[in-house]
């Protein structure tokens, strides 16, 4: 039995397409957690669309909890109503290609005993699998470089919740970066993460948050700063430990400034630059 969870945020048509792809692939129970903060409008529409299909349950939050907290809340509900521990987490703007779910579940049963299995993802015509996050510069790269750590995109993950720990995601992350923190935590614990190349997912990308909006830009900056706390030990209060974190912050600040400048030029907008002024960059350092 495969449980599935997706979060809706004011894109019910995309969510419906996502759910249909999971039903086609054989998911036994799907929870749609609505984070739209719209008084239940989207949730009511989705409930009507899937009325009569007992495999689909739609719940809505009275406020937008953010991605990490929404996933954790949805997982808590699923775990309370089922003894099954494997859950497919998928973005609502993503759809499973034929055979993807079977490939993911087969890989989960492999001798490596992975705690997470992820598919290949196609977005804007570009295919990617393992991603690499530069701990010092805050760059997301498709290939490993000195200073990077591998991670699996949170777009679509089959998770063994019995071993991944609860809560699954760090709720300090409102949106973005929680997948990097999750991969880091699980790999530090010695647990296996696997990319299954025969499974494929198609992803729209930033459909809910709106790439280029102030909300999007602020959350991206915030996630990069939070990752300093996740990837560098906060327990080491020695001069060396604090110096390492300050160096990481200085380098991160430089790359975020360059990123904001480039995006402001690209979009002919000062919004990316404004995002840098919305946050306390010295948080917890």
Q: Cα separation of 268 and 177, whole Å? A: 26
Is there a domain that residue 282 lies in? no
* Whether residue 232 sits in one domain with residue 111: no
Q: Is position 209 within any domain?
A: no
Residue 188's Cβ-count burial label (10 Å; 0-12, 13-18, 19+) is exposed
Query: In the prediction, which pLDDT does 282 show?
Result: 44
245 and 130 assigned to the same domain: no
Residue-level pLDDT at 60: 94
Both 46 and 158 in a single domain? yes
- Verify that 63 and 141 share a domain, yes or no: yes
In a domain, 57, yes or no: yes
From the number of C-beta atoms within 10 Å of its C-beta (0-12, 13-18, 19+), residue 87 rates as buried
Mind giving me the DSSP string for 224-245?
HHHHHHHHS-SS--SHHHHHHH
How far is it, in rounded angstroms, from Cα 148 to Cα 144? 6
DSSP state of 97: P
* Residue 259 forms part of a structural domain: yes
Pair 285, 251: CB distance under 8 Å: no
Residues 159 and 260 in one domain: no
The gap from C-alpha 114 to its chain's centroid, in whole angstroms, comes to: 18
Residues 148 and 67 in one domain: yes
Say what the pLDDT of residue 130 is.
Answer: 98
Does one domain contain both 116 and 236?
A: no
For position 17, which CATH number holds?
A: 3.90.550.10
Domain finish residue from 203, 235, 266: 203
Confirm whether 208 is domain-assigned. no
Q: Of the residues 158, 181, 203, which one is the last residue of a structural domain?
A: 203
- Please, are residues 192 and 113 in contact by the beta-carbon 8 Å criterion? yes
Residue 84 lies in a domain: yes
Residue with tokens 């720990």: 165
Q: How far apart, in whole angstroms, are the C-alpha atoms of residue 117 and residue 115? A: 7
Q: What confidence score (pLDDT) does residue 279 get?
A: 65
What span, in angstroms and rounded, lies between the C-alpha atoms of 156 and 96? Answer: 9
Q: Comparing C-alpha atoms, which of 119, 114, 89, 84 is closest to residue 104?
A: 119
Burial class from Cβ neighbours inside 10 Å (0-12, 13-18, 19+) for residue 220 reads buried
Alpha-carbon distance values, 5 to 15, 19, 97, 172, 281 (Å): 11, 9, 17, 20, 33
Do both 177 and 223 map to the same domain?
Answer: no
**Number of domain units in the chain:** 2
Angle at 102 between CA 97 and CA 103, to 5 degrees: 80
Domain range holding 223? 214-275
Which residues have CB under 8 Å from 243's CB, separation 6+? none
Can you name the residues that pair with 126 across neighbouring β-strands? 123
Do 173 and 56 lie in one domain? The reply is yes
Degrees to nearest 5, angle at CA 207 with 58 and 223: 95
pLDDT at residue 1, rounded to an integer:
83
Structure tokens of 276?
């840098």
Among 184, 203, 222, the domain-final residue is 203
Q: Give pTM, 2 decimals.
A: 0.93
What pLDDT, on the 0 to 100 scale, is given for residue 240? 87
The whole-number mean pLDDT for each consecutive block of 10 residues of the chain, a chain of 285 residues, reads: 94 97 97 96 98 96 95 95 89 98 97 97 95 97 96 98 95 95 97 98 74 85 93 83 92 95 93 84 44
Residues 139 and 27 in one domain: yes
Q: Please indicate, yes or no, if residue 101 is contained in any of the structural domains.
A: yes
Q: How far apart are the C-alpha atoms of 192 and 150, rounded to whole Å?
A: 12
Residue 77 CB contacts under 8 Å (≥ 6 apart), including other chains: 31, 33, 59
- Note whether residue 36 is domain-resident: yes
Do residue 128 and residue 262 come from a single domain? no
Residue with tokens 């903060």, as numbered in its chain: 37
3-state secondary structure of 54: coil
Q: Are residues 20 and 160 in the same domain?
A: yes
pLDDT given for residue 285 in this prediction: 43
User: Is 95 within 8 Å of 17 (Cβ atoms)?
Assistant: yes
Nearest to 275 by CA among 257, 249, 252: 257
């Amino acid at each position: 039995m495969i449980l599935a969870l997706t979060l809706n945020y004011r894109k019910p048509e995309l969510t419906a397409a996502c759910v249909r792809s999971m039903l086609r692939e054989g998911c036994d129970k799907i929870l749609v957690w609505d984070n739209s903060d719209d008084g239940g409008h989207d949730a009511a529409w989705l409930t009507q669309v899937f009325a009569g299909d007992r495999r689909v349950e739609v719940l809505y939050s009275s406020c937008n909890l953010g991605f990490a907290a929404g996933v954790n809340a949805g997982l808590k509900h699923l775990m309370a109503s089922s003894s099954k521990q494997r859950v497919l987490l998928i973005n609502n703007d993503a759809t499973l290609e034929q055979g993807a779910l079977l490939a993911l579940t087969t890989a989960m049963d492999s001798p490596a005993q992975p705690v997470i299995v992820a598919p290949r993802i196609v977005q804007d015509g570009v295919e990617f699998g393992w991603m690499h996050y530069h701990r010092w510069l805050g760059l997301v790269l498709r290939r490993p470089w000195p200073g990077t750590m591998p991670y699996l995109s949170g777009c679509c993950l089959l998770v063994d919740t019995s071993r991944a720990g609860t809560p699954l995601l760090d709720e300090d992350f409102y949106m973005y970066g929680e997948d990097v923190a999750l991969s880091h935590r699980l790999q530090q614990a010695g647990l296996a993460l696997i990319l299954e190349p025969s499974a494929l997912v198609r992803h729209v990308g930033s459909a809910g948050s709106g790439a280029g909006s102030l909300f999007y830009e602020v959350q991206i900056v915030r996630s990069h700063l939070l990752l300093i706390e996740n990837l560098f030990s906060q327990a080491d209060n020695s001069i060396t430990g604090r110096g390492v974190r300050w160096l990481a912050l200085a380098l991160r600040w430089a790359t975020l400034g360059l990123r904001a400048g480039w995006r402001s030029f690209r979009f002919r907008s000062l919004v990316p630059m404004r995002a840098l002024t919305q946050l306390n960059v010295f948080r917890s350092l």
